[in-house]
Structure 1
Amino acid sequence: MERILLIVLLFFQSCLGFTQSFKGSWRGSIEVQGTQLPLVFHLTEDDGGAWQGKLVSPAQSSAHLPLSKVEVFGDSLRLAAASLGLSYTGRRVDDSTINGVFAQGPLRAPLTLRRFVEKVRLRPQTPEPPYGYDTLDVEFTNSFDGTTLAGTVTTPRGKGRFPAVILVTGSGPQDRDETIEGHRPFKVIADYLTKRGIVVLRYDERGVGQSTGNYTKSTIGDFSKDAIAAIDFLRGQSKVNPKKIGIVGHSEGALIAKLIAGQQSAELNFIALLAGPAIPIDSLMVLQAYEIGRLGGMNERQLQQAKVINRKNFAIVKSELGDEHAYRQLLANMSSIIPEPTQAQKNEFRMMVMPSYRYFMRINPVPFISKIKIPVFAAFGTKDIQVPFAANMESLTDNLPPNRQNRLQVYEGLNHLFQNARTGAISEYAELEETFDTDVMRDLADWILRLK
């Protein structure tokens, strides 16, 4: 009897240990268009046995996106984030490894997750309370489609009305702080500007954090309307000077600022562009792929070959071909280097003909830049490999109408996040303790405060 009881107890403990082993942080990568995209899952279980989890895509953002489903049964688990249309099904190989399949839209890719302990990194610029200014969590509505955006307004103390800005994040699902690799650049910028006497509104993108909506089914057109709603909300704040309201956009957020300003689709007084694309998006993506490949060790012959293939791929994506026809053309264009694509590679090509991706690839900011009538501040970093400075600065200089209040500047040694960088590689973002260069923030604040 004791032997039977012992066996039962050992079996129970092994099962319990098996289930408990899913608790913690798991990291892996999927390959998307030749680039490794890291993913991190944080899984927890409460005292009642209910599981919860969060997803982080570090190369895009460090926003902790809540999982809508975490199911654990024996040595297997199922994860899902409904707002992003993604799922993961995996099975535990041992205490530190899970093998499974990641899915999002038409993409299906093998994903092996490995347990890790997240390293605590120093982020000395992240502000901590007490702040010395007023903070207020708010909600406002995009009247075009009813999406509710949640954000934070920081307001200088004192009497009078102040200049005001909204902060618009870069690509990928971003929270109000534009959190990435432990850095919170928008919180740092908001803190600096507010201390200088500027009201700042920053908000979670649709489908992220406390904002409603579906991120994966949205386009830049939708994000632009969210920004317009933010401007309208800011204009109604009692301590805001209605004649000094602008957008500070980073990367894709800067592109949105240009589109809004060029179309005069909102009552704006100025825009500030941080690493903002100023050339057609397909051309930008070719340059970006070249720079990433160069830092990755590709030789010039390989880089030029990739450039030719990428140009044709993006031309297909931009075309008016039907999705299925475009997909077949992509397969044909890639056949010289991938004669027999795997199912995962085929799924990547399917992603390239999704409506939101094709919408993005067709954007050319130049016609919008040429119609901007308000003052513009623009900053680029010489080590930015995501929006390479030379071509974008040249286009902005050539196409932006003259304005004595414009300030266009290139900052030596800064990467896409405006950190002082060694190479500019995306992998450096996490390694660097600096979140955002102080000189750029000082120049931005000085420029806003001097506007007439």
Structure 2
Amino acid sequence: MFRTMLAALAIVTLAMAGHAQSQESLAGSWNGVLDVGAAQLRLELRIEENEDGYSAVMVSVDQGGSAIPVSDFAIEYPEIDLQMAAAGARYTARLTDGRLVGTFAQGGAEFPLEMARGAVEAAGPELAPGESEVFVDAGVRLAGTLRLPEGDGPHPAVLMLNGSGSQDRDVTIGNHRIFAVLAETLAEAGIASLRLDDRGMGGSDSTPATGPRELGRDAGEALAFLRTADGVDARCTGVLGHSEGGIIAFLLPDASQPDFIVALAPQAGTLEETLLEQGEAMNRVMGASEDVIEATRARQLAMLEALASAPPGEAGAAVEAAFLAHGIPADAARQQAAFWGQQYVQEAAALDPAAALAGYDGPVLGIFAQNDLQVLAEVNAQRMREARAGLPATIGIVPGVNHLFQASETGSPADYARAPHAMSPDALTLIAEGAGEIIAHTCGDAR
């Protein structure tokens, strides 16, 4: 579900104080490397100057991630101060000899960050043997990687759909390329795959989606493209979705239905159920008191009620008022409302996953992660069983892994970037074997 990740994408407006023509303009691109020990992240700060001051975008070149709300920002030349309260992050720097020299702070830790003028040199996506760069016209242009197994084919294939938040085609988290590793494992099992940059990421167009069903239409166009690709068996193409992608897999238009669906840790509950469950689970892992757990739940319920009752276009104000009523500081409430008040979130909150699960009559493989704190395994597996009653479905739980199917005792999202592997080797084997079995059962003669 919604992840707050170090050095993801942040869009801010900077107030300008005391700016004179004689001062060196801060406009343009800046780049630097944030060394956090476990990973080195290339950051690019893009600043534009306009009549009201500055506007800027900070991008983590090596990570896909959700937008980080910014609670406060200022420029008092030659110093800048960017604060991102939702991530507990802050970048302060001083313009010195043509470079921004400063400190990036998050979670009580501080890291030096020096940025020079110029954009990060675009290297393009990493392509392994058997991979090629492709582009899908879905009304918006979506860039992706087609991975073919060895051999002439035609091969069964899957369209890979990632979870919520803006992510690149590889689902890059820290030094891990989650979907690239999964695609390699599938190729070794004789299964082709197509993975895509989300809208606004990598080579894809930046037009934002209005809701999950629009992403379902994107997926339908991508699946149609996959069926025409050289080396792919058009009679045996399915969708493999993770987290929110595991529900979007069930939202493709009727004219673009997959032959089968593999859903990894799919969000089988409503957004309300999922947020409440993951909020409590994460608080308990962090050792929060019952009072904190209950206060968190009350805030979440107030936000969700405001979201559900607000007319179109007014959700942001309603959500902000709900947070203010629960004691959230004004700046933080405003920034939280900018995210939770989006049309996309409002449509996601209205989605009925059970109806989507029941509305597809083809074969389904559902695989959950035992220690998942974002999509709780047992309760969501049971929801899928109930929704798929009387329909073909195989549902299982992989022991000892987190939401990304990495080996993890706690399941904490804090372990995602520092796990020793992108995905657990055991989990990869189980996923590939399960996909092979549903393909053999579904496509038998077609293969």
When the two structures are superposed, what TM-score results if normalisation uses the length of structure 2? 0.74
Q: After TM superposition, give the deviation of residue 243 of structure 1 in Å.
A: 1.7
Matched with 1:285 is 275
Q: Deviations over 1:228-272 (max 9, x none)?
A: 111011100131111210111111111101223xx6352311111
Matched with 1:224 is 216
Matched with 1:431 is 418
1:39 pairs with 2:10: no
Distance 1:395 1:111, change over 3 A: same
Matched with 2:294 is 304
Measured in 2, the distance between the counterparts of 1:185 and 1:342 equals 37
Amino acid at match of 2:167: Q
Amino acid at match of 1:235: R
Measured in 1, the distance between the counterparts of 2:413 and 2:180 equals 21
Q: After TM superposition, give the deviation of residue 363 of structure 1 in Å.
A: 1.4
Measured in 2, the distance between the counterparts of 1:333 and 1:154 equals 45
Amino acid at match of 2:215: F
Select the residue among 329, 343, 348 that pairs with 2:336.
Answer: 348
Matched with 2:137 is 141
- Find the residue that maps to 2:435 and give its secondary structure: helix
Q: Deviations over 1:100-142 (max 9, x none)?
A: 3569xxx999944424369xxxxxxxxx9995x5211111100
1:51 pairs with 2:19: no
Matched with 2:227 is 235
Q: Select the structure of larger CA radius of gyration.
A: 1
Q: Which runs of 5+ in 1 are unaligned?
A: 1-32, 43-48, 119-127
Q: Does the aligned pair in 2 maintain the 1:284–1:387 contact within 8 Å?
A: yes
Distance 1:333 1:169, change over 3 A: closer
Matched with 2:205 is 212
- Find the residue that maps to 1:431 and give its secondary structure: coil
When the two structures are superposed, what TM-score results if normalisation uses the length of structure 1? 0.73
Q: Please give the root-mean-square deviation of Cα atoms over the aligned residues, in Å.
A: 3.9
Q: After TM superposition, give the deviation of residue 204 of structure 1 in Å.
A: 0.7
1:408 pairs with 2:398: no
Q: Deviations over 1:252-304 (max 9, x none)?
A: 111101223xx635231111111111111111111111112222221124313
Matched with 1:12 is none
- Find the residue that maps to 2:249 and give its secondary structure: helix
Select the residue among 186, 199, 206 that pairs with 2:192.
Answer: 199
Amino acid at match of 1:69: I
Q: Does the aligned pair in 2 maintain the 1:84–1:214 contact within 8 Å?
A: no
Select the residue among 365, 389, 404 that pairs with 1:377.
Answer: 365
| Mapping 1:91-240, distance limit 5 Å | 91=75, 99-101=81-83, 111-113=90-92, 114-115=103-104, 116=111, 133-142=129-138, 146-215=139-208, 218-240=210-232
Q: Does the aligned pair in 2 maintain the 1:288–1:385 contact within 8 Å?
A: yes
Matched with 1:264 is 254
Give me the identity figure in percent.
24
Matched with 2:305 is 315
Q: Does the aligned pair in 1 maintain the 2:157–2:191 contact within 8 Å?
A: yes
1:245 pairs with 2:223: no
Q: Does the aligned pair in 2 maintain the 1:377–1:444 contact within 8 Å?
A: no
Distance 1:129 1:67, change over 3 A: closer
Amino acid at match of 1:402: G
**Count of equivalent residues:** 381
Select the residue among 421, 430, 436 that pairs with 1:449.
Answer: 436
- Find the residue that maps to 1:380 and give its secondary structure: strand
1:364 pairs with 2:364: no
Q: After TM superposition, give the deviation of residue 342 of structure 1 in Å.
A: 2.3
Q: Deviations over 1:354-413 (max 9, x none)?
A: 222211221120111112211111111121111111221110011114355x32111121
Q: Does the aligned pair in 2 maintain the 1:65–1:208 contact within 8 Å?
A: no
Measured in 2, the distance between the counterparts of 1:324 and 1:229 equals 32
- Find the residue that maps to 2:417 and give its secondary structure: helix
Measured in 2, the distance between the counterparts of 1:351 and 1:248 equals 27
Amino acid at match of 2:82: G
Measured in 2, the distance between the counterparts of 1:172 and 1:156 equals 29
